[in-house]
Structure formats: structure tokens, C-alpha cells
Amino acid sequence: MMRSTILAIFAALSVASIPVPAGAQKRGDQMQAYQARKQGKLLPLPEIERRVVPQMNGAEYLGFDFDGGSGVYTLKFLRDGTVIWVDVDGRSGQVIGRTGR
């Protein structure tokens, strides 16, 4: 009885300490985004892109990332060898931050 209890505790600790693979986190964020869009709480990515990409004056659009916890889309651009990150509030579509030139 005691041995099985100790083994169960070690098994639980081992599982708890296993890092979550990056792909699993990304899938979780994608699911959060999907649910939020379905509920009308989040703008769809094409709408975000329609608002932001034209403002980037010739920078090459490389893609995006989404943070399900904050509801922020981060769009990535390249201009003259410089990477530009644009953070966009997924609820309003407003640019809330930018790095690069």
C-alpha cells in the first residue's frame, strides 16, 4: 500500500515536471482564438491583416503569432533587412505596440 502510494506520488511529480511542447501551446492558442472568434470576442486574422498590412508601406509581411492569454496578434514584417513586429489588439484591431522601423 505504502509503496503504491509513493510510486503514485513520483509519477504525478514526473508528469507535472514535463515541459509542454511548443506545438501543444500553439494549438491551445489556436483553439482559444477560434473560440473567441466564434463568440464574436476577437476579430478574424484576415480583418487584422486588412487593417495593418497596408500601413506598413512596402514591408514584406512574413506571418503572425497569436497570444491566447492576452488576445494579441503579433504580425511580423521585413523591410531593408530589419524585422518589424506589430502588436495588434485582437478585440479592437488597434495597433498597441511596434518594434523596428
Return per-residue pLDDT of the chain as tens, 101 residues: 555 444 444 444 443 444 445 555 557 767 777 777 677 779 999 999 999 999 999 899 999 999 988 999 999 999 999 999 999 999 999 999 999 76
Phi/psi-derived region of residue 91, left when phi > 0, alpha when psi is between -120 and 50, beta in every other case: alpha
In whole angstroms, give the CA distance from residue 72 to residue 91.
8
Would you say the C-alpha torsion 72, 65, 62, 48 has a positive or negative sign? negative
In whole angstroms, give the CA distance from residue 98 to residue 52.
11
